[in-house]
Amino acid sequence: MRHFLDFEKPIAELEGKIDELRRMSEPEGLNIEDEVSKLTEKADRQLRATYAKLTPWQKTQVARHPDRPKALAYIAGLITDYIPLAGDRAFADDAAVQGGLGRFRGRSVVVIGTERGNDTETRVAHNFGMARPEGYRKARRLIELAGRFGLPILTFVDTAGAFPGVDAEARGQAEAIARSIEACIDAPVPLIAAIIGEGGSGGAIALAAGDAVLMLEHAIYSVISPEGCASILWRDAAQASAAAEALHLTAEDLHRLHLVDQVIAEPIGGAHRDPEAAIQAVGEAVQAALEPLLGVEGPALKARRRERFLQMTREPIG
């Protein structure tokens, strides 16, 4: 069954009516095609109109949509011959961070993603995409592996943030994130990051300090969740909508601020309506971002990436 968000109610009602008409007409052999196509057209129009002007808070909900394709879906859809690699070699394997070797359009790559799961069982297994230090240490290990063999790195970011837990703190969550960012900065190979859902703060930048940062149209990327920001600055988590607005966390805004290189258009009604199309669109954008970097030598690539970050946030934005 399709999961509808609050603001999708009118669409849900129309689509419900269409389904009902179809069900009723089947046994009776009634000709309802006219009615159905009229309603379908109306639902389509409504969907287009709604998604053309989503507010930042609505986008936040779309970015977290349970049916939205997750990192493993992108890996399955874009990477062939995928061999997952596990563990941080020190403490554990963190299922919130998935990654390994594979081929992207024939080329060997290292792929890394934060995976939040699709149902209760997988969500729990992946700790809802919130990594612990071992996850970031695994990421760093894979980034270094890529560097050693000259393989481009593709990351798929979708996380509420790093896991806030006693164990995570005790094992050096902050240090693990810092080292993962450092590994991204130091990689002598191209690193393309795609924010596919929620880009949650330090847990996201840990995998996204790359040569190109791509972002799906309805994904979000922020220093703090709108709820967290609202409860601190407004002292009221219910002000999340206002906070989402103020934080400028949408792909469109971040592109304008030069923090994101490209916005990838989503299928009408969001990636969850047509996951395959969304995955292929991301594949195209990754390919386009990767292509010009392939011939660049490691040291030049690193120098360019460093300069990119040094310049970032320096210029006033109009």
Does residue number 224 form part of the binding site for other proteins (CB under 8 A)? yes
Residue with Cβ nearer other proteins (24 or 125): 125
Which residues partner with 214 through β-bridges?
194, 262
Residue with Cβ nearer other proteins (43 or 183): 183
For the chain, the straight-line distance linking the first and the last C-alpha, in angstroms and rounded, comes to: 44
Residue with Cβ nearer other proteins (194 or 229): 229
Q: How far is the CB of 15 from other proteins (least distance, A)?
A: 35
* Rounded CA separation 283/289 (Å): 10
* Interface pick for other proteins out of 21, 86, 92, 259 (rule CB under 8 A): 259
Site size with other proteins, rule: CB under 8 A = 53
Surface-to-core class of residue 242, CB atoms within 10 Å of its CB (0-12 exposed, 13-18 middle, 19+ buried): middle
Contact status, residue 193 vs residue 213, Cβ threshold 8 Å: yes
* Interface pick for other proteins out of 246, 268, 277, 296 (rule CB under 8 A): 246
Q: Which amino acid is at 283?
A: G
Q: Percentages helix, strand, coil for the chain, rounded to the nearest 5?
A: 55, 15, 30
* Rounded CA separation 162/285 (Å): 27
Does residue number 173 form part of the binding site for other proteins (CB under 8 A)? yes
186-219 burial, b for 16+ CB within 10 Å, e for fewer? bbbbbbbbbbbbbbbbbbbbbbbbbbbbbbbbbb
Distances (CA, A) of 247 to 108, 174, 224, 250: 37, 23, 9, 9
Range 226-245, binding other proteins (CB under 8 A): 228-229, 232-234, 242-243
* Rounded CA separation 178/182 (Å): 6
Does residue number 166 form part of the binding site for other proteins (CB under 8 A)? yes
Does residue number 171 form part of the binding site for other proteins (CB under 8 A)? yes
* Rounded CA separation 34/143 (Å): 56
* Interface pick for other proteins out of 92, 185, 268, 296 (rule CB under 8 A): 185
Does residue number 202 form part of the binding site for other proteins (CB under 8 A)? yes
Does residue number 58 form part of the binding site for other proteins (CB under 8 A)? no
Does residue number 299 form part of the binding site for other proteins (CB under 8 A)? no
* Interface pick for other proteins out of 76, 90, 238, 312 (rule CB under 8 A): 312
Region near other proteins per CB under 8 A, out of 8-16, 74-82, 101-109, 168-176: 168-176
Does residue number 179 form part of the binding site for other proteins (CB under 8 A)? yes
Does residue number 156 form part of the binding site for other proteins (CB under 8 A)? no
Report the relative pairing of strands 79-84 and 97-104 from DSSP bridges: antiparallel
Region near other proteins per CB under 8 A, out of 7-15, 58-66, 170-178, 261-269: 170-178
Kindly list the residues in this chain that would bind other proteins in the complex (CB under 8 A).
162-166, 168-175, 177-179, 181-182, 184-186, 201-202, 204-205, 209, 221-224, 228-229, 232-234, 242-243, 246-249, 254, 257, 259, 306, 309-310, 312-317
